[in-house]
Amino acid sequence: ADSLIQVIDWKDFQGPHTKELRSVYRKCWTLLEEHYPEIIHQYIIVNVPLRYYVSHSFSSRLITHKPSNKIIFARPGKVTETLLRFISPENLLVEYGGLKRINDDEFSSEHKVFELNLKAHASTHIEIPAPEVGVTIVWDVTVVEWDVTYKEEFIPEDEGSYQVVLQDKEKKGGERLCVRNSYYINEGGMISIFIHNHINKCKKVFYRYKTKPTVPTYLLYKT
């Protein structure tokens, strides 16, 4: 409650402006250390180019009185994993692999977030119950890291009804998979989400969902 984490993103910030960034950052560091000691719990610099990541001289210029463990450098492939060590998924922006969206009118930090561990070369299913008719279910899913098969479908309770495929795709390369989707429930059933991990590394999956009342379209246009 008495300290904060400062995140600096170096994405697309290279070339002639890098020197200016260093200067501004050093001034900010000095100001905070001299006038607000201990207010910064951690500095996290993300999307750091390789040459700066391995440069001890660069990190030493940033440090004045505090040890180097106050600063963490995260390469592009480790941004989400690093930030999740300090920031909860509901408070981490979706562009960094979290669930938070700016000016979000669907979810807030009060909505419960579920976490799954997806084993290497394994699959998992997320089942969202949908027994109530006449409502819309909204969900968020984030898979930390890439190379996954992702599929969403609505499975009705009535065996005589048809299953509805909502999304079916593969995510290769990049850093994460972040999905938000919704579906209007006109018969009881469930939303089934299938995720398969293609690589030899465990991954984390975060998801949340909610049900909201929906006014049928024909009533909106009824005169």
* pLDDT tens by residue, the chain, 223 residues: 678 888 888 887 666 666 777 778 778 778 877 887 778 788 888 887 777 666 644 555 555 554 456 778 888 878 888 999 999 999 999 989 899 999 999 999 889 999 999 999 999 999 999 999 999 999 999 998 778 999 999 999 998 899 999 999 887 766 678 999 999 999 999 999 999 999 888 999 999 999 998 865 555 555 5
| Contact predicate 112/183, CB 8 Å | no
Tokens of 210: 């909610």
In terms of Cβ atoms closer than 10 Å to its own Cβ (0-12, 13-18, 19+), residue 143 is buried
Check whether residue 210 and residue 137 sit in a common domain.
yes
Predicted confidence at residue 63, as pLDDT, reads: 53
> For residue 146, what is the domain's CATH number?
2.60.120.680
The full length of the chain comes to 223
Number of domains in the chain: 2
pTM exceeds 0.75: yes
Tokens of 130: 């949908």
* CA distance linking residue 133 with residue 212, whole number of Å: 11
Residue at 179 is within a domain = yes
Predicted confidence at residue 56, as pLDDT, reads: 46
Predicted confidence at residue 222, as pLDDT, reads: 56
* CA distance linking residue 141 with residue 178, whole number of Å: 6
Of 208, 196, 192, nearest to 155 (Cα)?
192
Predicted confidence at residue 206, as pLDDT, reads: 95
Residue at 109 is within a domain = no
Check whether residue 135 and residue 202 sit in a common domain.
yes
C-beta neighbour count of 139 within 10 angstroms:
20
Check whether residue 69 and residue 150 sit in a common domain.
no
Of 152, 107, 99, 105, nearest to 130 (Cα)?
152
Check whether residue 136 and residue 209 sit in a common domain.
yes
Domain that includes residue 64, residue range: 4-76
Of 59, 53, 54, 48, nearest to 13 (Cα)?
48
